[in-house]
Structure 1
Amino acid sequence: MEFSEVLRRRRMVRDYDPDRPVPPEVRERLLAHALRAPSAGFSQGWAFLVLETPEERDAFWTATTDGPTTDGGALDGWLTRMRRAPLLVVPFSHKAAYLDRYAEPDKGWTDRDEARWPVPYWDVDTGMASLLVLLTAVDEGLGACFFGVPPARVPALRQAFGVPDGYRPVGCVSVGYPGTDDRRSPSLKRGRRGVEEVVHRGRWGATGAH
């Protein structure tokens, strides 16, 4: 598939065919492509928790949600559809890997002071790795969705899967073949902002092309 077509087709898929698992070779390509993401100082401060069996996936949903409710609300429907995903990839950022890397001689810093960092690149880089998973899924004919893990649920997630405290989940990527009940997010009604709205050429507020 041409890259421009991958970009055009990329969207968040929220329902999956539970009877079609992700082929192992495709799963491995998703993970291999994630490792091609850039990282500051080539720190590669990320890790990926792969959950495929029903027991593993159930443990994730139990740790991170309250489970389906009885009122049939929108959140209940979202969870019912998302739980059908046959593959979950939880990307974790590892801040210490970056602080350690930039305290090495070739980087010129002699301490691990987090204040030196203008933004948390450990989270930024792990987010870029997650995007590569999303794009690879499209290229493979799959659907995928990136969604967050509630902060209050992170300790339960760590406990359920033995994740060390130094690793923080930046979200979760569900992957699978799209189901028949996939629904577009109501947020899409806002429309996509155009280049002229978000691009500033030369100085803030100058939007015309040179």
Structure 2
Amino acid sequence: MEFRDVVRRRRMVRRFREEPVAPEVVDRLLDHAVRAPSAGFTQGWSFLVLTSDEERERFWAATTPEDSVRDMSAWLAGMRTAPVLVVVLCSRDAYVGRYAEPDKGWTDRDEARWPVPYWHVDAGMASLLMLQTAVDEGLGACFFGIDAGRLAAFRDAFGVPGEWAPTGVVAVGHPEAGGAKGSPARRQRKPMADVVHRGRW
């Protein structure tokens, strides 16, 4: 598939068929993810791959809030059909440690030196490469976050060390026709003239 077609066809898919994803395809998703750029080539990411029924059920049990401001039942019913979940995690310590090395020189390890948390930025780039790879493989995928109130339960359920923070989760599978369209069905893409500023704002 042409790269521009991959970019244009990428959508957040929220319901999947029962058909499993081949293990070699999952490996390609991960192989592409680690090709993402990372500040200082820190590569401060980790990927928790959940493919069995038991693993995925444990994930949903740990991360589903007991109540929510809006009704999430339809979203959950669709997302729980995903045969593959990849939790993308990052390490702040890896980045402040990397930039305290001699070739970078920030020996105080002060997080205030970072105007944005590049550990999450880089994990987001890795996630996007998985989303695009899914399209190239003829699959669907969706990126979503873990509820802040459920992070401790998630960590306990999977033994995630405190150093590692989840940036989000990539759900992957064979898309079900007629699944939920999401916000793009209710909102238009902004015109380029509204978002691109050439030379000055």
Length-normalised TM-score, structure 2:
0.95
Q: What's the CA shift string for 1:169-200, capped at 9, x where partnerless?
A: 11111000011341201453210012111011
Q: 1:78 & 1:68 partners in 2: Cα distance?
A: 14
Which protein has the larger Cα radius of gyration, Structure 1 or Structure 2?
Answer: 1
Counterpart check, 1:101 vs 2:98:
yes
Q: CA RMSD in A?
A: 1.6
CA drift at 1:75: 1.5
Q: 2:91 & 2:11 partners in 1: Cα distance?
A: 27
Q: What's the CA shift string for 1:147-176, capped at 9, x where partnerless?
A: 110111011000000000111111111000
Partner residue in 1 for 2:15: 15
8 A contact 1:68–1:80 mirrored in 2: no
How many residues are matched? 200
Counterpart check, 1:114 vs 2:111:
yes
**Tell me, what secondary structure is at the counterpart of 1:55?**
helix
Partner residue in 2 for 1:45: 44
Structure 2 letter corresponding to 1:201: R
Counterpart check, 1:190 vs 2:187:
yes
Residue of structure 2 aligned with 1:151, choices 133, 148, 153: 148
Q: Which consecutive unaligned segments of at least 5 residues does structure 1 have?
A: 205-210
Q: Which consecutive unaligned segments of at least 5 residues does structure 2 have?
A: none
Aligned pairs for 1:38-187 (under 5 A) are 38-66=37-65, 74-187=71-184
**Tell me, what secondary structure is at the counterpart of 2:72?**
helix
CA drift at 1:74: 5.0
CA drift at 1:63: 0.4
Q: 1:166 & 1:26 partners in 2: Cα distance?
A: 29
Q: What's the CA shift string for 1:18-43, capped at 9, x where partnerless?
A: 2x111011000000000000000000
8 A contact 2:65–2:150 mirrored in 1: no
Length-normalised TM-score, structure 1:
0.91
Q: 1:21 & 1:178 partners in 2: Cα distance?
A: 11
Q: What's the CA shift string for 1:121-168, capped at 9, x where partnerless?
A: 000000000000000000000000001101110110000000001111
**Tell me, what secondary structure is at the counterpart of 1:33?**
helix
Q: 2:44 & 2:135 partners in 1: Cα distance?
A: 25
8 A contact 1:93–1:126 mirrored in 2: yes
CA drift at 1:66: 3.9
Structure 2 letter corresponding to 1:5: D
Q: 1:186 & 1:144 partners in 2: Cα distance?
A: 15
